[in-house]
Amino acid sequence: MIEARALLQALDEAQPVSGSALAARFGVSRAAVWKQMEALREKGAPIEAAAGSGYRLRGPLALLDEDAIRAAMSDSARSRLESLEVHWQIDSTNSALSRRVQAGDSGPGACFAEIQTAGRGRRGRRWHMPLGGGLAFSIWRRFDAGMASMAGLSLAVGIGVMRALERLGYHGIGLKWPNDIQHRGLKLGGILVELGGDALGPCHAVVGIGLNLRIDAAAGGAIDQPWTDLVRIGDGAPADRNRIAACLLEHLLEALECFAQSSFAAFADEYARYDVLRGKPVRVTGGGGERCGEAAGVDRHGALLLRTADGELRVDSGEVSVRPQSGSAS
């Protein structure tokens, strides 16, 4: 049987490779090559086939590599990271790290995967990431404080992502409370925080992050909301996926350490720079009802402030979803 990763690495962006050449290289039939290619294309791999010429990549593709990620990290970041996993296929990177927590690891740790068979987003939604089109990974750490002190963690993680993207040269990206990464109203990525432990401490957090890097039109059709990627935001091809992964890890480790020491209060002023909702009319749903008003930023605990005709309301993350509302605030 052909290893899917090896088959993908055998393809080139410029020069097609024939099915017969691939069959000879891997010692299988052309039918076996075709079957594996179709399976990869169904997962979103940017592969195109042309009769008489063979298979080629529609664009550049750098597969994730643990050694390459570690090499691109600073010495201090590497020393803080207890474990780093890179999988071809896994159920869920959040689930993989939750198993490490249960096994008694001390953390922090990170897990990346090219394919997640049970990847999930906020409120149980399925997370869709075309193969090679982005980064889907998780990071975790323990906290001495309890779950009651974790308010605003997803926003602090968002700040870590913003710092990394700006370091890589991407600007104009913002955060949509409570967990979306956006550019001009289009979704670039998302954040999922799962907590465990005691209310008063200690506790742990497993943070899942998905980020679109290069999504071609064919694969993007499966995404259920308006989206963008770093290729469309930048001037062309994004930096190598492994370098982006390393940069994200560095800034996320720093953000989590800062949060452990100072909670979200240390991030509140910086969050205001990236808040895409502030001053806009919004509709807040969840918690058994619907409220409309004008987003007025967040407080020192990361709660959304909603200005309504009846006064200012405080809305905790984890209780609501937010969607822009046409018209003025009410």
Q: What is the DSSP letter of 176?
A: E
Query: Do 175 and 111 form a contact (C-beta atoms < 8 A)?
Result: no
In angstroms, what CA-CA distances link 83 with 5, 63, 70, 99, 155? 23, 19, 11, 13, 24
Active-site residue, selected from the candidate residues 187, 214, 278, 283: 187
How far is Cα 268 from Cα 265, in angstroms, rounded to an integer?
A: 5
Between strands 83-90 and 109-116, the pairing is parallel
163 labeled binding residue: no
Q: Is 323 a catalytic residue?
A: yes
Token match 């990361």: residue?
302
Q: Is 307 annotated as a binding residue?
A: no
Annotated ligand binding at 167? The verdict is: no
User: Which residue in 127, 209, 124, 214 sits closest to 175, CA to CA?
Assistant: 209
- Let me know if 122 is a catalytic residue: yes
User: Does the annotation flag 201 for ligand binding?
Assistant: no
Q: Which of 43, 80, 122, 163 is catalytic?
A: 122
Contacts (Cβ under 8 Å, ≥6 apart) of 217: none
- Residues near 290 by beta carbon (within 8 Å), at least 6 away in sequence: 283, 284
Q: Which residues contact 11 (CB under 8 A, 6 or more apart)?
A: 17, 47, 55, 56, 57, 61
Report, in angstroms and rounded to the nearest whole number, the Rg of the chain calculated over CA atoms: 21
Does 120 belong to an annotated binding site? yes
25 is in an annotated binding site: no
Q: Name the binding residues for biotin.
A: 92-94, 116, 120-122, 187
Q: Name the binding residues.
A: 92-94, 116, 120-122, 187
Residues with active-site annotation = 122, 187, 323
